[in-house]
Chain A
Amino acid sequence: MRYTTKSLLGLLFLLTVICGPVHAQTELLTKAAGLIPQSGQGDEIRSAFNANVDRVRLMVLLSPT
């Protein structure tokens, strides 16, 4: 019984360690891909990026101030 409980706890710990960062990464990717133009019009950034696949693309990340 003790052995089973310990195994389950160990498994839970491993799942947390493995899945936590993966979940965080997925969430970041989803948010990043979903960025929409400041004007509120046009494509999401990933769509726009891929729509311009035949072009050279420059992506700049900046602080406005």
Chain B
Amino acid sequence: MTSGELQPHLTFELLDESGVGLTGDGLLDERERRLVVGAANFHSLASPGRTFRFTVLRGPEGTFPSLTDEEVHGIEWDDDREVVGSMVFRSLVHTTSAFSDTDGLIDLAVDVGGRAQVMSGYHRLPGVLGAARRAVRFTVPVQFDALRQLRTDVTEKRYRAKDVPRHSPVRLDRGASAVPMGKTPAVLFGMHWLEMGGAERWALESVKMAKDAGLTPIVITDRDSTHQWITRPELDGAVVVPLTQPLLQEQEAAFLNGILSAFDVRGVHVHHCSWLYQRLPWIRSVRPDMPVVDSLHVLEWRNGGFVDVAVRMSNMIDVHHVISPQLRDYLVGRQNIPESKVKLATLANLTVTGIEKSVAEKGEGPFTVAFVGRFTQQKRPYLFLKLAAKLKGQLPVRFIMHGDGELADEVRGLRARLGLAEVLELRGPDQPVGRTLTDADVLVISSDNEGLTLTSFEATAAGVPVISTDVGSQASLVADELLCPRHPYPFIRAASARIAAMAASPARRQEWLTQQAAKAEAFAKLPDARSWTQDLYKGWNS
């Protein structure tokens, strides 16, 4: 998509620009340009009718964008920021205030940050203690993980025992009328960030569905990120606002009021966005009639995660959409949320189109064990490598690791250190997952937490049995005996025993695959998230 197609902007009109590339060639790439537009959206909404001049900065590698936070109001910046653009624009958001020329220009310095990249939480740990933890984490990853899992045991136990406190409800059925509503029907979305992930993929698909239903998506993110996915086609035509915090306090309500006055917001759909969750009581107070739904993916034991925020804000939410039976049971059974407010609609088959079932018998080659997924802490690629090292000595076996991510260096390092270079092939995300699944005899999922992995659906579609840690809702898809403990050493023991059993007995492998297929078939009969969401948006636009 070219920058020209971004026009017309719904929230501002461009008066002049240099370097940004909204009207011609610029110094920014598409991602950076969209970040600048995101910042312009925010300021146009937060200060209706005003005229702004952006000085656009670019930070060094490893820095995040600064677009909406207090910092942008200063006109002094660090030595390592280069100026790559300048633009003047006027907010098109309706206002009853009359601004004269003497009110002048609002000058802001927005920073698009460094080049697009992802960093693990460990890479970001500050201070000496952080450096020490980082050192231990990367020197002895498996031992470190064993300790992490013990900590998870403790928090999980505590978590199971606690009742999440609730935010008191809003008792109004009408808010006092202040700002007139806009005419453009819209949906307000909250997202964590625009990076690769299962939750994000679903969120973007719902953004597209809103557009298909004739609603303009307004997409807010609240987490620092380089937002590589901001260029995704699903976001074309959406009003994207990547918040960087802390916002000026007075701008918070101004921003939301701007949205409510510029658009006819028909509903709010929160996908993992703490900022928006926490503003729901206010939104409910000014617009009690506006429907609010959220989509929940993962029950995160270690820090409660979004599910607990959702429970706390449940009085502001009409429907909690959950993608797994585990989340439904947690909300209804554990947190006592009325069944009528919890909608289970699954993402089965979100990514399986185009994956061929490999019916042919596997060739003569050695038994092939695959890992498909991002190389992130959550997916624990180092456990797969340890498992490979253990199996290498026992069986004629080869391995494929398909993915990329913040732990890519660690994966390459361990592959060499564990002597796996000969038997373990690394494949980048530029290659199709379908081919890896065709090559594989078994897929291993070593994650320490999951909702319901999309790769499990893909593997089932490709006729490949899945060995997985027994976390999240993996039990919904994986054969009972192929569910392995989450703790690293027990995981390696259990997974290697199952792989050895499969390699020795094709009948056994087939039996497990049949069980997995039966589970997938039963799961596929659960309500589907796509059609539920389509109906929801259709209702919002009727």
Q: Do A and B come from one complex?
A: no
Binding site for A on B (CB under 8 A): none
Binding site for B on A (CB under 8 A): none
